[in-house]
Chain A
Amino acid sequence: MLQSYVVAMTFVLATLIGTRFYLQNVVARRPPVGVFNRSDVAGLLVGVVVMPFAYLAMPTQVAVPLFGLVIVAIVAVTLGPVFGHSGWAWLVAVALGAADLGLAAVAGARSPAQLAVNAVLLCIAIVGIANVWVQSGMRGRHLIAVAVALTVYDTVATALFPITFNLFTHLGAGPFAPFLAWWSGEHGVIIGLGDLLVATLFVIVVEKGFGSRAAMVALASVATTIGIMAALAVTDTVRGVAPSMWVLGPVIVAHTAYLTRRRAERTVAEYSGRR
């Protein structure tokens, strides 16, 4: 039980800290003209709502490889600026994808090795997606809109209907699972891709807009929130798939709203000038 908790939280903290590090040191590729705006928030939310239904409509043999291809591509794009060479980035991304696939086939979908590789893939993808959005100009007001919308969505898809549960069941038994998980016997911790992504976005939106000190507070608040929810899950205090955004959402919205009211939010140019 403790092992599940420690490993899962290690990946969570690695993602949150790694995303900050990426923001501070790597320039993500973005479209040359255009800034993250309402149309992107709308696109994101449409994707979040439509994607589970699209995947559930496909047989597992199609949905899993498709999701895998998407994740591998995102990982390759994320690692490109890190390696300075897209060839190496693709090599590493494909290798990780192949490892996830191979380990799931050979050692099983709940084996520690497969869960670890899957977690690494997911964490890198989250670092990349969050940085592209924030370095393209995502602001506090966009994050608030996303958090509110996802809280509503989580209520519908997780609490009221078993959409999230069905998606986890459909995709979670094999490679490229859309969640970060660790099992110890019958006890495990599962943190969804969407929840971790929103938490990560929160940390770097705050870092870019309001500075490192505010970002550290944001990191501590979401890490604590996720940590408490994971502890409740691993001790079976809360069973099954719970709508994490019920807790994360209000934390993110309240904190971001407080910061945006307190002072002017920096642009990417202003943030880059201070690095």
Chain B
Amino acid sequence: MLDVAVAQIRVALSIATGRRLNIRALDRLLDGMLATRFEFGMIGAEGAQALGGPPLDDEVRQKVALRRFRTVARRAADRTRYYSRLFTEQAIDPATMSWDDVRRLPITGRDALREEPDSFVCAGTRPVMRAITTGTTGPPTGVWYSEYELAALTGATTNHVLLRNLIRPDDIVQMCISSRAHLPVITISGTCYRIGAIVQVTGLVDPALALAQLSERRSIPGKRKRVTVLNVYPSYLGELIEHGLRGGYRPTDFDLERILIGGEIVTAGLMRRAERLFGPVEFVENYASTEMVPCGGNPCASGHLHYESSAGLHEVVALDGTGLAADGEPGSLVETPFPPYRETTLLLRYDTEDIVAPLSGPLDCEFRNLPATTHVLGKRRFALRHDDGWVFQRQVMEALEGSEAVPLPARYGNRAASAGVALEVLVRDDDPGVERAVRDQLEAHDVPVKELTLVTDPAQLSAAIPVRSDLRETSFTPAAAPALLASSTGG
């Protein structure tokens, strides 16, 4: 206990001041958390607060955020080519920036990071890995990380997983995300090693192979008989559901308990249909990206997204670029990751291009003391402006994936039409009632459909919005034959 108490103080001081984490102290703290869970069965709510620190009121939070922003801005101005140039052009002194100066600082776009990624690398650091993004908005970008950052981020992930009891020592974890998503593969695998769970990185292979691995029985001492935790993108989960239900899989073929899901929009329809295949499961959603980690959001039970102030500055900029979005007004989420977790690739006011709307409260959810926005409404480049407002990806996805006529993942293309949107949607078949059913769903989700074209072949979609499950990976193992399916569904 004494050593853990000392480690806790050291880690808390690092997070509060932005000073580099002592990795040994972080390790000791994680060992203490693991020992606590082993000895007492769980880490209680008091433990979560003890590790997260006390809630801050808005005024204190703003002061701390400004101080931390100045620290990272000073470092970026002194040691990165991009921001050295920017601060000189803007004639802003990073050491004495006010909030007005922060708002005046031009937003860093994805294109800037894509075009000159090395200009964001902080001099004096030792990058060891370039993490390539695997998102669907244009060509990938690269973000450099040091060995220290990889250890710190893995520790932070382990802390998060232990506090929420997401992975247990007897779990088998299957990762069905892109094998090239280096950062989450490293941090989640590292977390599993630490906890003692088994991890298998399946990747985005043929869904038949992934399903065979999910249902395969194991006999490893001290471990569960089948995969219990699935880490997956929503679109690939959709593929698993379609393939699994078509192939005759049923809930008794799986022992899945938790699905850790993120990277794309998760819809109610997707979750409902997933339970048809896997049985009752707990969905744990998270919001993060390679560029802005550890900044990210935690969804609450009320459907908000909440942000840790110590991780970074979170701003929502109005879509017309006129400044910060008002309460409830959709805007683009702009993030500035703070130390101690980030030291190599520094990003100030980085535009994630994810649309959210700020929520000032008062809120009554379990994370009410943390800054909040709505859940991600979609990517800005896939949002459509029409005469009466906006249509976001979430509205369309919720509508489409809520309809049985639409196979998972929902694939569609859209463009603006007068006073509404024109949609092309992939459906299972174009029976007479399908169009009516799809229209009804879209109208129920406030999508003003002016033109609706239904197709039954994905190749017919003229401008489909890409999905992550299209990052298909190949394998030398052939897809599971019906005989294999029969043996794996032996129950």
Interface residues of A, Cβ cutoff 8 Å to B: 30-37, 39-40, 42-43, 136-137, 267-269, 272-273
The interface residues of chain A lying within 8 Å CB-to-CB of B8 are: 33-34
Judged by a CB distance under 8 angstroms, whether B2 is at the interface is: yes
Complex: chain B residue closest to A33, CB-CB: B47
Known contacts A33-B8, A34-B5, A37-B1; can you find 4 more A-B pairs with CB under 8 A? A32-B46, A33-B36, A35-B38, A136-B1
- CB–CB B3/A37 < 8 A: yes
- CB–CB B1/A269 < 8 A: no
CB distance from B266 to the nearest CB of A (A): 31
- CB–CB A269/B29 < 8 A: no
- CB–CB B39/A268 < 8 A: yes
CB distance from A81 to the nearest CB of B (A): 14
Distance, CA A31 to CA B5, complexed state (A): 8
- CB–CB A269/B50 < 8 A: no
Judged by a CB distance under 8 angstroms, whether B33 is at the interface is: yes
Complex: chain B residue closest to A36, CB-CB: B1
Q: A137-B39, A267-B40, A269-B41 are in contact. Are A32 and B1 (CB under 8 A)?
A: no
Distance, CA A269 to CA B49, complexed state (A): 21
The interface residues of chain B lying within 8 Å CB-to-CB of A34 are: 1-5, 8, 32, 35-36
CB distance from B34 to the nearest CB of A (A): 9
28 intermolecular pairs with C-beta atoms under 8 Å apart? A30-B1, A31-B1, A31-B50, A32-B49, A33-B8, A33-B29, A33-B43, A33-B51, A34-B1, A34-B4, A34-B8, A34-B36, A35-B35, A35-B38, A35-B39, A35-B40, A36-B1, A37-B1, A39-B2, A40-B1, A137-B35, A267-B40, A267-B41, A268-B39, A268-B40, A269-B40, A269-B42, A272-B41
- CB–CB A32/B39 < 8 A: no
Judged by a CB distance under 8 angstroms, whether B138 is at the interface is: no
- CB–CB A269/B39 < 8 A: yes
- CB–CB A40/B2 < 8 A: yes
Distance, CA A267 to CA B42, complexed state (A): 12
Judged by a CB distance under 8 angstroms, whether B106 is at the interface is: no
The interface residues of chain A lying within 8 Å CB-to-CB of B40 are: 35, 137, 267-269
Over the window 40-72 of chain B, the binary record of Cβ atoms lying under 8 Å from chain A Cβ atoms (1 yes, 0 no) is 111110110111000000000000000000000
The interface residues of chain B lying within 8 Å CB-to-CB of A269 are: 39-42
Q: State the 3 A-B residue pairs at the shortest beta-carbon distance, nearest first.
A: A269-B41, A34-B4, A32-B47
State how many residues of chain B have any CB contact under 8 Å with chain A: 23
- CB–CB A35/B3 < 8 A: no
- CB–CB B39/A43 < 8 A: no
Distance, CA A241 to CA B88, complexed state (A): 79
Q: A32-B46, A32-B47, A33-B33 are in contact. Are A39 and B39 (CB under 8 A)?
A: no
Distance, CA A33 to CA B29, complexed state (A): 8
Distance, CA A137 to CA B2, complexed state (A): 13
- CB–CB A32/B43 < 8 A: yes
Most B CB within 10 A of own CB, among A31, A43, A136: A31
The interface residues of chain B lying within 8 Å CB-to-CB of A30 are: 1
- CB–CB B35/A32 < 8 A: no
CB distance from A55 to the nearest CB of B (A): 22
CB distance from A126 to the nearest CB of B (A): 19
The interface residues of chain A lying within 8 Å CB-to-CB of B47 are: 32-33
Distance, CA A158 to CA B1, complexed state (A): 30
Q: A33-B8, A34-B32, A137-B35 are in contact. Are A39 and B3 (CB under 8 A)?
A: yes
The interface residues of chain B lying within 8 Å CB-to-CB of A136 are: 1
The interface residues of chain A lying within 8 Å CB-to-CB of B5 are: 31, 34
CB distance from B449 to the nearest CB of A (A): 52
Complex: chain B residue closest to A43, CB-CB: B2
CB distance from A103 to the nearest CB of B (A): 36
Over the window 10-52 of chain B, the binary record of Cβ atoms lying under 8 Å from chain A Cβ atoms (1 yes, 0 no) is 0000000000000000000100110110111111101101110
CB distance from A150 to the nearest CB of B (A): 18
Most A CB within 10 A of own CB, among B1, B3, B8, B29: B1
CB distance from B43 to the nearest CB of A (A): 6
